[in-house]
Amino acid sequence: MSPWTDSEAALLQDLLRRSLADAHGSQANRPQADAPQAVLCLCAEWCGVCREFRAAFEAAQADHPEWLFRWVDVEDDAEQLDELDIETFPTLVLGSATRTVFAGPVLPQAGALERHLRLLTA
């Protein structure tokens, strides 16, 4: 059973789709512009755990240029994410424009992140 309501799951899927569409049109993000899959980290700047996890997230991004990585500050994107009830940071959303593979909180460790990234290649 998913921890997300149907409307939250739809919002997360839409966030994946829009992130991939935005990257596809962005010249600044060219290496990942055609990425078929995305890794989104929902976080908050005020969260010390998120700030510490960011280095592992950026290292994973460097190791996996074939995927779009996006750091999503829930306060900066509050208008888009208003309906989400995020209880734990960091929360990852992995998937494609048409399918969410994983959406949930993760341990803020590089090893845990890599284990979740394997879902994108499974």
- Average pLDDT rounded to a whole number, residues 91-97: 93
Ranking 5-19, 32-46, 99-113 by mean pLDDT, the lowest is 32-46
User: DSSP class of residue 5?
Assistant: -
Mean pLDDT for the chain overall: 85
Q: What is the pTM of this model?
A: 0.83
- Could you count the other beta carbons within 10 Å of the beta carbon of residue 117? 19
Cα separation, 111 vs 116, in Å, equals 9
In degrees, to the nearest 5, what angle opens at C-alpha 101 toward C-alphas 31 and 67?
A: 10
Q: Which residues does 65 contact at the CB level (< 8 Å), separation at least 6?
A: 31, 32
Assigned token pair, 8: 């939250």
Instruction: Give pLDDT tens digits for 23-75.
Output: 866 544 444 444 689 999 999 889 999 999 999 999 999 999 989 999 999 88
The span from the first CA to the last CA of the chain, in angstroms, equals 21
